[in-house]
Structure 1
Amino acid sequence: MSKTFEKILDTAKAQGMKTVVVAVAQDEPVLEAIRDAKRNGIANAILVGDKEKIIFIAKNIGMDATQFEIIDEKDPAKASLAAVQLVSSGKADMLMKGLVETSMFLRAVLNKEVGLRTGKQMSHVAVFEIPGYDRLIFISDVAFNMYPELKEKVAIVKNSVAVAKACGVDLPKVAVICAVEVVNPNMPATLDAALLSKMNDRGQIKGCIVDGPLALDLAISEEARKHKNIQSPVAGKADVLIMPNIEAGNAMYKTLTYGTTSKNGGLLVGTSAPVILTSRADSPETKLHSIALAALVAEYNK
């Protein structure tokens, strides 16, 4: 089981090189991550975008652009679509967002003719290495689904569990996060949490242990679990945190990113190939971690 991003990088390297396609690749932090992914033996890349700008940036960061295939397409929409098509046609294992608006990028991902649709619910999974914890923490959804209902939450759980398993967690412990740990009819998120837990009990959600509603402290703190005398196979030991909505998820993501010394990465799943959907503000290290995660998921999905 990978408990750190160092282990994630080592595992991705050990499984052999993947190929990532970058849509609108003329972005310095993205190219730094691509450079380092190749140096670490994790992934080669096809760069789609403004060739002149890509070569200029590569020179500035000590990246040998001649080692990469570059497809010259200056129009961001066309570059995004071309990148998606390379993945959907099997010429690459995963897709990465470059210097392009997320809405434009996702339109290409969802294109009916060449996109990466599978008919499944897509969701974003963020992965954190948090100081003081003996495991990686998987958080969903922090970036894609805004106000998921029960059906969407079932898919979010399954997608998150698949990512955790790709990282070597054999039986992920899933906490459905709410403000409280009791079912309250006036708090719809607690009803969804209880239903997800029961669906897991009855085998409708497999390959993991789901419990909820659980407040955040109970999910990740064994001390809090003992203090509140909660008996649960998940409380205090959660690997996966399912957030009630995008506000809670995004706030937690940014709190961990900017308020702690955590390391992180993330990707969009539920697609026919992993999609690296990082923020423009994310560091090159975070983008590299995301490439490594996508490589593990691509291998797991074979």
Structure 2
Amino acid sequence: MTMPPLHRPKPSQNGLRIGADFAQLLKATAPLPEIVTAVVHPCNETALEGAMAARDHGLITPVLVGPEARIRAAAEAAGRDLGGIEIVPSLHSHDSARQAVKLVHEGRVQALMKGALHTDEIMAEVVDRTRGLRTERRMSHAFVLDVPSYPKPLMITDAAINIFPDLTTKADIIQNAIGLCHALGVAAPRVALLSAVETITPKIPSTVEAGALCKMADRGQITGALLDGPLAFDNAISREAALAKGIVSEVAGEADILVAPDMESGNMIAKQLIYLAGADCAGIVLGARVPVMLTSRADGTLARIVSAALAQLLAHHKQGRSIL
């Protein structure tokens, strides 16, 4: 038996197969100037090519931070000419992360892009209490997904940094994601606080926290969005499922942001959408002094390009230069 296609075909843009949501996002970046970006340890072909492709799309001006011989070997493997591109030498991956964060403090770069190193290595420097990039808000990660079966970009948070966030941390996670939505032109994003059920159930702590977070929004402790929860995944993204359960909500079925109860569930949701629903994804760290493009070492060029687009839009939005 022949199975029907799972998702709509993706048109090609500069050799990339890209969905409608991400194509629109990249189009929106066209009037904005590139942001100077420290590419941390781009010491393999995939990481180096992703940074160069983001440059080719007019998103970043890369500053390559890593052992120079390894960077040049990666460039040769990728068939890339590094003429005119600054290289800041380092000893190894830990040193690459430290040197990149130092460039932020010196005012030489506006963003960071993860290359061929572990997430823990770059984030250890970013969150360091003395030399890192902390702000008054807890840092968090957001996946932005182009899901073929969903009519708009879908954000999932936090799926990479905060393992078991408490109530205060969840408030920061939500506010960070709202800020990114504003940078993407969504003036009043709809935020669904996920759990297994739609009613507050004391035996399920995430439902109690969802209720508290909604009340925090009512009292102005979380601003700039519509919040509702607890909501199960189905009624967060399906209006029909919400109506079938008698849920009356401005968020149900139309969520822009899905807030996971913990990192494990958020990561699973995102990867299920990527591998089973054909979604494309990008990733970014929010709440630091500058945007941090945080992609998996297994991610391809598209994920790195769109992550760079998110960082560019966010950086210019903070400067009051967003054109969305």
Give the TM interval when normalised to the shorter protein. over 0.9
Equivalent in 229, 233, 237 of residue 254 of structure 2: 237
Matching residue of 2:322: none
The answer to whether the 8 Å contact 1:276/1:291 transfers is yes
Residues 1:60 and 2:72 are matched in the alignment: no
Do 1:193 and 1:213's aligned partners in 2 also have CA atoms closer than 8 Å?
A: yes
- Identify which of 107, 118, 122 aligns with 1:105: 122
Conserved 8 A contact 2:183-2:314:
yes
Q: 1:207 aligns with which of 211, 218, 224?
A: 224
1:77 aligned onto 2:94: yes
SS in 2 for 1:124: strand
Cα displacement (A) at 1:114: 3.3
1:31 alignment partner in structure 2: 48
User: Which blocks of at least 5 consecutive residues in structure 1 are unaligned?
Assistant: none
String of CA shifts for 1:217-262, please: whole Å, max 9, x gaps.
Answer: 1110011112112100100111000000111101111111222211
Q: CA deviation at 1:172?
A: 0.3
Q: CA deviation at 1:113?
A: 4.1
In structure 1, the residue matched to 2:194 is: 177
Aligned mates of 2:47, 2:24 — CA distance in 1: 22
Counterpart-to-counterpart distance in 2, 1:79 and 1:275: 14
- Structure 2's unaligned 5+ residue stretches are 1-19, 320-324
Q: Which residue of 1 aligns with 2:10?
A: none
SS in structure 2 of the partner of residue 67 of structure 1: coil
SS in 2 for 1:4: helix
Does the residue aligned with 1:176 lie in a helix, a strand or coil? strand
1:79 Cα offset (Å): 1.6
1:275 aligns with 2:292: yes
| 1:7 matched residue in structure 2 | 24
In structure 2, what is the equivalent of residue 144 of structure 1?
Answer: 161
Answer whether contact 1:59 1:65 (CA < 8 A) is retained.
no
Report if the CA contact (8 A) 2:37-2:110 is conserved. yes
Q: Is the 8 A contact 1:25 1:50 kept in 2?
A: no
2:275 alignment partner in structure 1: 258
Q: Separation in 2 of the partners of 1:26 and 1:20?
A: 16
1:187 aligned partner, one-letter code: I
Q: Distance in 1 between matches of 2:209 and 2:221?
A: 14
* Cα distance in 1, alignment partners of residues 26 and 131 from structure 2: 30
**Contact 2:193 / 2:228 at 8 angstroms: preserved in 1?**
yes
Partner of 2:17: none
Residues 88 and 272 in structure 1, CA contact (< 8 A), matched pair in contact too:
no
Structure 2: distance between partners of 1:173 and 1:77: 38
TM-score, normalised by the number of residues in structure 2: 0.89
State the match for 1:48 in structure 2. Answer: 65
SS at match of 2:228: strand
Question: Partners in 1 of 2:271 and 2:84 — Cα distance?
Answer: 35
Letter of the structure 2 residue corresponding to residue 186 of structure 1: K
One-letter code of the match for 1:147? Answer: F
Return structure 1 stretches of 4+ with deviation > 6 angstroms: none
Percent identity between matched residues is 37
What is the rounded CA distance, in whole Å, between the counterparts of 1:168 and 1:255 in structure 2?
27
TM-superposed CA distance for 1:182, in Å, is 0.3
For 2:235, give the aligned amino acid.
L
Instruction: State the distance in 2 between where 1:101 and 1:138 align.
Output: 23
Equivalent residues of 2:54, 2:304 under 8 A apart: no
How far, CA to CA, are the matches of 1:136 and 1:69 in structure 2?
34
Structure-1 separation of matches of 2:198 and 2:235: 8
Asked whether the equivalents of residues 147 and 279 of structure 2 are also in contact (C-alpha less than 8 Å), the reply is yes
Q: Distance in 2 between matches of 1:38 and 1:103?
A: 25
Q: Matches of residues 162-173 of structure 1 in structure 2 within 5 Å?
A: 162-173=179-190
C-alpha separation in 1, matches of 2:128 and 2:263: 24
Q: Residue 200 of structure 1 aligns to which amino acid in structure 2?
A: A
Q: How many aligned positions are there?
A: 301
- Looking at structure 2, the residues matched to 115 and 60 of structure 1 have their Cα atoms a distance apart, in angstroms, of 33
Task: Indicate if the aligned counterparts of 1:184 and 1:191 stay in contact, CA closer than 8 A.
Answer: yes
Code of the residue aligned with 2:31 in structure 1: it is A
